[in-house]
Amino acid sequence: MSLKNFCPVTLEQMRGVLTAQKGWNLDIIDGTKEYVFVFQLSNSPHIEVRVCSGITFDGRSRGCGKDAIRVFALDTKAGRGYIKTKRVYRIQTWEKNLRAAVLNCFEQAKERRDNR
């Protein structure tokens, strides 16, 4: 990704997409350097969809090429990854791309849960 396409993302912008009203919680996870948004699946509370925001604890977006937004599901009971999605790059379409990645992660997690 070039500096020309890079778009810094603020914590407020991220909160506008991943809202508490929709069930997202803002969390600080041990061992991370960024805010993580967490959503527990209602029928499987041990499955969490997490979004590593790329926003440091001082509220700043990490620099160009430093880190993408990551979306994945975690099985907290087993203590391991459940679903992994593609990176969401911090470019002008990041919000649309993030929504699509989160929806994709939800769908994959529900499908995997239902097929067990």
At 22-76, the pLDDT tens digits run 999 999 888 888 899 999 998 888 999 999 988 888 777 765 555 688 999 999 9
pTM, entire model: 0.88
CA 73, chain centre distance (Å): 9
Contact in structure between 10 and 53 (CB atoms under 8 Å): no
Task: Provide the pLDDT for residue 48.
Answer: 95
Would the CA dihedral through 17, 66, 68, 82 be positive or negative?
negative
Q: For residues 78 and 70, what is the distance between their CA atoms, to the nearest angstrom?
A: 21
Best-predicted range by mean pLDDT among 1-5, 26-30, 93-97? 93-97
